[in-house]
Structure 1
């Protein structure tokens, strides 16, 4: 019963966070796409694809990394090491956020942005309207192939450099915690760790 309650709570959190991120990202990108030139729109599209790939790398690295090297750094009080240990221990949550929430939202967003670019191109080149379906299909295929190819390259990098990647992410999180004065990785007192320890 407790497991079901926890699962539903987690699912509701994932749904709410996904909806919020998609809403903000979609609204913001729509405003930018309407206010900027076609060249800036292309840049924004590649930025979104880049975000998708980067978070995919982080999610994979979290599942492939091990705790041992980060424990050693934490013992020497190296910045970001404690945060890295937290990421490895909670690899399932990190992967869910990075690969599923951010990844899927950015993937959907890049598709919408690609369609918006085609619409803008048709305004500049009215002759394209007669082949709208073809241009839309080619554009979506181009975006999908770029995303899949870069993610494939990123996966190999994430697996072989997992500990180094998580160490860098730990430093970034530690810096954010210092600036905001709020801990994002401190486990709750009395709580249980959500992930298994991977020391090897």
Structure 2
């Protein structure tokens, strides 16, 4: 039990550090990209950030919902990505935590910051800088649209993740496979877990 607690604390601490770094990077990048662009481009960037969060939220839930068994038969038939999919299922808690809690939540935070920048640019372009009521209206309208896209997209993504979890995780497994083969980026090694139980009969 002590080992499990220490292991959980270590993993949680690592996730917190990763989130801190990625949130800073994404915030700086989004601010840099949005500086000096047109309002239309800024809106497009915000929507892209929102959908990145939706996609990763869907993948994370699919990992938690996926069954490992179908991938074993695929692996025996040498289906590309099947071994990586098995590893994803066996590490579903960490994988879904990274997708949902790290990328998903960071996307939500960054999209909110980016929305503020876009609203300020939109208000300035429309000439509403001196009209507090119109500023508020524009801010509420755009923020509501972003919120609706986020919630609606995640609701749709959850349905897709639950019903097509095997297809989604196999696709992700294939992506990991190609990253390993072409760029030597090994995210999961695809090796089965070692059986920690010792056979005392031998």
Give 1:190 shift.
8.3
Does residue 35 in structure 1 map to residue 54 in structure 2?
no
Give 1:76 shift.
1.5
Give 1:191 shift.
6.8
Give 1:26 shift.
0.7
Within 1, Cα distance between the matches of 2:141 and 2:99? 28
Give 1:139 shift.
2.1
Say if 2:123 and 2:138, in contact at 8 Å, map to a contact too.
no
Matched with 2:169 is 166
Give 1:189 shift.
9.8
Report the CA distance shift for 1:74/1:152 in structure 2 as closer, same or farther (over 3 A). Answer: same
Say if 2:83 and 2:190, in contact at 8 Å, map to a contact too.
no
Report the CA distance shift for 1:192/1:119 in structure 2 as closer, same or farther (over 3 A). Answer: farther
Report the CA distance shift for 1:182/1:130 in structure 2 as closer, same or farther (over 3 A). Answer: closer
Within 2, Cα distance between the matches of 1:191 and 1:26? 40
Within 2, Cα distance between the matches of 1:189 and 1:178? 19
Give 1:134 shift.
3.4
Say if 1:80 and 1:174, in contact at 8 Å, map to a contact too.
yes
Say if 1:45 and 1:110, in contact at 8 Å, map to a contact too.
yes
Within 2, Cα distance between the matches of 1:191 and 1:68? 17
Deviations 1:156-189 (A, max 9, x none): 1111111011110100111111122242112789
Give 1:109 shift.
0.7
Say if 1:115 and 1:139, in contact at 8 Å, map to a contact too.
no
Is the radius of gyration larger for structure 1 or structure 2? 2
Q: Which runs of 5+ in 1 are unaligned?
A: 194-200
User: Runs ≥4 in structure 1, deviation > 4 angstroms?
Assistant: 187-193
Within 2, Cα distance between the matches of 1:188 and 1:20? 29
Matched with 2:10 is 9
Matched with 1:184 is 187
CA RMSD of aligned residues (A): 2.0
Q: What secondary structure does 1:184 align onto?
A: coil
Report the CA distance shift for 1:87/1:134 in structure 2 as closer, same or farther (over 3 A). Answer: same
